[in-house]
Amino acid sequence: MSKISIEAHDTVTSTMDIARELARQGREEGTVVVAGTQTQGRGRSSSEWFSPRGGVWLSVLLIPPTEAERSHRAVFLSGLCACTVLRELCDLDTVIRWPNDILFGGRKLAGVLGEGIQADDTFYSIVGVGVNTNFSISALPEELRNETTTTLDILGREVDNESIVVAMAELLVERSVELSGGYGRILDEWLESSDTVGQIVDVDGSPAGRAVRLDDEGFLMVEDESGEEKRVVSGNLRYAGDRALRKG
């Protein structure tokens, strides 16, 4: 088992803030920050991440064996680990929507955020994972409810948040050695766990074309109507087939 050390808090602004501070102090890889609730939880693209009590809100310090420019790799690995753990511990048929939304039945169950920090001569990748577990979507703002789900709403019972945190952090730390070199195995497993390739996609609200493959770093190649391939490196992806779900 990989070595992890968990710092549990009741209320924080964001577990990412606490993890950044711990990185500045030079803490070890595998340091995990968990909170009962976050008052300023953040998601990708500077969005707000609602973090009611009952959910799994954690950040993990990784020291990846690769350059800072490749810190996106840790984020793809985190999405894969989140998907794997939810499948294994909660027996849920989850899939990944590029870049790292974890979906069940087309609705978002978990999300992953990556941030980097250089502290003295060490580059830390801080990965934050939020999983909607032991609360109902009625705890979330109305505009999020059509596209979101929670394990409580799916299973009708509570899950063991602590086991999810431990399994996720251990798997991440154990597999972070695979982030150097080609990291093809992670991308192969990521693809097997994802339903994105083959979909007609919208990126940041605009139609982009059909997702055809990942490139060697995990960025998404999308083919537009004229057959031209474009590389998508970031953004919020939606499947054209789910437009009705978004409207409710």
CA atoms within 13 A on the CB side of 73: 27
Q: Any idea which residue has 């998404």 for tokens?
A: 220
> Between β-strands 5-12 and 31-38, what pairing exists: parallel, antiparallel or unpaired?
parallel
Smallest distance, ligand BTN to C-beta of residue 149, A? 14
> Is 114 within 8 Å of 126 (Cβ atoms)?
yes
Smallest distance, ligand BTN to C-beta of residue 157, A? 22
Smallest distance, ligand BTN to C-beta of residue 48, A? 9
User: 241 by DSSP, 3-state: which?
Assistant: helix
Smallest distance, ligand BTN to C-beta of residue 5, A? 17
Q: Does the protein bind ligand BTN through residue 54 (CB under 6 A)? A: no
Q: Does the protein bind ligand BTN through residue 5 (CB under 6 A)? A: no
Counting beta carbons within 10 angstroms of the beta carbon of residue 196, is it exposed (0 to 12), middle (13 to 18) or buried (19 or more)? buried
Q: Does the protein bind ligand BTN through residue 94 (CB under 6 A)? A: no
4, 85, 113, 165: residue in contact with ligand BTN (rule CB under 6 A): 113
Smallest distance, ligand BTN to C-beta of residue 100, A? 7
Q: Does the protein bind ligand BTN through residue 20 (CB under 6 A)? A: no
Size, binding site for ligand BTN by CB under 6 A: 21
Q: Does the protein bind ligand BTN through residue 58 (CB under 6 A)? A: yes
> Is 77 within 8 Å of 66 (Cβ atoms)?
no
Q: In this chain, which stretch among 39-47, 84-92, 156-164, 211-219 interacts with ligand BTN, using CB under 6 A? A: 39-47
- Helices 72-90 and 184-192 cross at an angle (nearest 10°) of 50
Smallest distance, ligand BTN to C-beta of residue 226, A? 31
54, 111, 116, 218: residue in contact with ligand BTN (rule CB under 6 A): 111
CA dist 44 → 111, 125, 185 (Å) = 9, 15, 25
Q: Does the protein bind ligand BTN through residue 125 (CB under 6 A)? A: no
CA 230-239-38 angle, to 5 degrees, is 100
Under 8 Å CB-to-CB from 55, ≥6 apart: which residues? 130, 131, 132, 133, 134, 135, 150, 161
31, 59, 84, 196: residue in contact with ligand BTN (rule CB under 6 A): 59
14, 125, 148, 176: residue in contact with ligand BTN (rule CB under 6 A): 14
Task: Give me the residues that bind ligand BTN (CB under 6 A), please.
Answer: 14-16, 38, 41-44, 47, 49, 51, 57-59, 101, 111-113, 128-130
